[in-house]
Amino acid sequence: MFKSLLTKAGILLTIFSSGASAEPQVWLAKDNQRQFVLMGSIHVGSDALYPLPDAFNRYWPQADGLILEANIQKQFSMPAIDEAHFTRKLLPPSDIRTLRELAAQLKLSPFSLLESPPWLTAMHLQMAQSLALGLTPDKGIDQVVFNRALKENLPIFELEGIEAQFRLLSSLPDHGLNLLQTTLNEWPLLEEEMTCLLTAWQQGNNAVLTELSQQVALSEETEQHLLIQRNYNWAKQLTISPQYQKGTFLVVVGAYHMMGEEGLPALLQKQGFTVQQINSAQPASCQSGIAKKTSGHRP
């Protein structure tokens, strides 16, 4: 559950747009001793997301391990949360009214949302929306490749783990208030945004994904916590950790972690790896509501 929001504001809990002939992007990062096959993940999905790209699947038989953000089989009990950190204590009254309206729309308990920290409230909202759209965590890319690895006895490695992700979310500025307010303020546009994002992901269009990621209204500090700092940490792990010094590894993490000059492929290139995209992209035939709003057009 924690993983489902660990992309940029969780907006990759998305609708699948069918009919594209290109594939989600896959990168190959290699040096003399090892190679990493990297693919961005969608954390919830449907059967329409599959099969996965040939450029990813063809490396599976020779892989020495699957690397995920977290081993989702490990159990973790969330500790008690201080009442001072509850959403009802931190969210302004006007936003609480919006939250109550969304709770009624999504058939969620407003009491539960208000008695959770803002980051967890945002997660509940995003997950409820994805379920209403017919998307489930068991069809997310992470879960599907995890299950396949278990079935075929492929070693599974984690970059941080569920407990570390909990600590990350708990340490967000104001306990994730900016994350929740972004979700509430952009809610009318999120479904359109989701559709465009998935179209771009499915078609492997890095430029569109990068542009959309830059238009999400998270604070710089929140973005650093959720995205940038983790990218640097993961690139360092892949470069220096003993278990990754030789062989072929499949790397599946949230799709926004692959984007831009501080994305994982770019950071590995800076570490001395040869990095290339190994499948093709097509122009994504969409523009998000947020993008239109940013450019001065009506959504």
- What pLDDT score does 75 carry? 76
State the chain's mean pLDDT as an integer.
81
Kindly state the DSSP code that residue 45 receives in the 8-state scheme: B
- Rounded mean pLDDT, 65-82: 84
Q: For residues 178 and 8, which has the higher predicted lDDT (pLDDT)?
A: 178
pLDDT tens digits along 174-220:
899 988 998 898 887 766 666 666 666 666 666 656 565 555 556 77
Taking 60 as the threshold, does the pLDDT of residue 99 lie above it? yes
Taking 50 as the threshold, does the pLDDT of residue 296 lie above it? no
Range name among 75-84, 140-149, 217-226 with the lowest pLDDT average: 217-226
Taking 60 as the threshold, does the pLDDT of residue 73 lie above it? yes
Q: From CA 135, how far away is CA 16, in angstroms rounded?
A: 9
pLDDT tens digits along 216-240:
556 778 778 888 999 999 999 999 9
Range name among 4-8, 76-80, 81-85, 247-251 with the lowest pLDDT average: 4-8
Taking 60 as the threshold, does the pLDDT of residue 18 lie above it? no
Angle formed by the axes of helices 93-106 and 177-185, to 10°? 60
Quote the pTM value: 0.81
- What pLDDT score does 96 carry? 97
Dihedral, 165, 171, 174, 179 alpha carbons, nearest 10: -20
Q: For residues 90 and 51, which has the higher predicted lDDT (pLDDT)?
A: 90
The backbone region for 296, taken as left when phi is positive above 0, alpha when psi lies in -120 to 50, beta otherwise, is left
Hey, how many other C-beta atoms are within 10 angstroms of the C-beta on 266?
17
* Own/partner long-range contacts of 205-210 (Cβ < 8 Å, ≥24 apart): 205/22, 205/281, 205/282, 205/283, 205/284, 206/25, 206/258, 206/259, 206/277, 206/281, 208/283, 208/284, 208/286, 209/255, 209/256, 209/258, 209/259, 210/259, 210/260
